């Protein structure tokens, strides 16, 4: 006997889970806590499977039947409805993640820099394309950390843009507050404040004394560019700066 809207609505939770069958393998599963789920039992390639249709009453009886019929049409074409549903979810996630990728957000940020000179804008974009996008361009900005962002900076550093001689920990755990843009100096303290869940983040200057690092023009220019990227992109940690 087919289900009715009234029967589905009035289905009360019992001590044990039970099912109210409708037709063509579809049924309403009622849990002891009162939750109700539309599901469809089917066989595919000799295996018994379950297709989750939706939650009642968000998905009505008529909507559930439509989704069941769509699943049956797929089965008639030799397509597993569960596999198709998983592929669609994966594709949707990939599209959503792509809009949150570093390269997409960076392009949106770059488009706002209308006051830059053409030469300067070209230089900034070339550096992004050359050193940053190949490494982290496809990554979700919310998942980027210091380790991800340090790679492109090390490439730049190797080419002489950051002409400083410092330990890796001095570079990794640097703070913006240590950069004196007016004096063009990087003042590395004896010890730094700890960063939650970041190992060795308290490490400061070598020999436990303040370390004054002169910054060349190229280094200053790059630091200013990175600083401009900080707020618009809302990145949790910068390549060489951990914001405080």
Q: What are 9-16's contacts with CB under 8 Å, separation 24+? A: 9/57, 11/36
Tell me the fold of 100-233. Answer: DNA polymerase; domain 1 (1.10.150)
Q: Which CATH number fits domain 5-98: 3.30.420.40, 3.40.50.300, 3.40.190.10, 3.30.160.390?
A: 3.30.160.390
pLDDT tens string 47-58? 999 999 999 999
Between 59-63, 82-86, 215-219, the lowest mean confidence (pLDDT) is in 215-219
In the prediction, which pLDDT does 243 show?
Answer: 40
Structure tokens at 86: 């998983």
Structure tokens at 146: 């210091």
pLDDT tens string 198-214? 677 677 665 567 777 77
Structure tokens at 181: 């843009």
* DSSP for residue 137: T
Burial class of residue 101 (count of CB atoms within 10 Å of its CB; 0-12, 13-18, 19+): middle
What does pTM read for this prediction? Answer: 0.44
In the prediction, which pLDDT does 212 show?
Answer: 76
Q: Which among 26, 28, 94, 23 has a CA at the least distance from the CA of 56?
A: 28
Q: Where are the domains of the chain?
A: 5-98, 100-233
- Listed in sequence order, the DSSP H helices in the chain are 5-10, 61-76, 81-99, 102-110, 118-127, 133-136, 146-158, 168-172, 217-233
């Amino acid at each position: 006997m087919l289900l009715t809207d009234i029967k589905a609505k009035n289905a009360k939770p019992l001590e044990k889970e039970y099912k109210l069958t409708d037709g063509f393998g579809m049924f309403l599963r009622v849990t002891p806590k009162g939750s109700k789920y539309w599901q469809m039992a089917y066989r595919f390639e000799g295996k018994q499977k379950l297709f989750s249709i939706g939650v009642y009453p968000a998905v009505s009886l008529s909507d559930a039947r439509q989704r069941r019929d769509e699943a049956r049409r797929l089965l008639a074409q030799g397509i597993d409805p569960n596999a198709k549903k998983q592929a669609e979810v994966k594709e949707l996630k990939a599209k959503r993640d792509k809009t949150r990728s570093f390269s997409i957000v960076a392009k949106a940020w770059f488009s706002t820099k209308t006051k830059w000179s053409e030469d300067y804008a070209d230089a900034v974009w070339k550096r992004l394309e050359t050193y940053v996008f190949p490494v982290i361009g496809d990554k979700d900005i919310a998942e980027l950390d210091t380790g991800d962002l340090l790679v492109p900076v090390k490439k730049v550093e190797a080419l002489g843009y950051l002409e400083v001689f410092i330990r890796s920990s001095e570079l990794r755990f640097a703070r913006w507050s240590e950069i004196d843009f007016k004096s063009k100096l990087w003042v590395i303290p004896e010890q730094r404040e700890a960063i939650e869940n970041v190992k060795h983040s308290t490490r400061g200057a070598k020999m436990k004394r303040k370390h004054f690092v002169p910054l060349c023009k190229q280094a200053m220019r790059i630091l200013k560019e990175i600083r401009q990227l900080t707020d618009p992109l809302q990145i949790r940690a910068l390549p060489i700066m951990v914001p405080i």
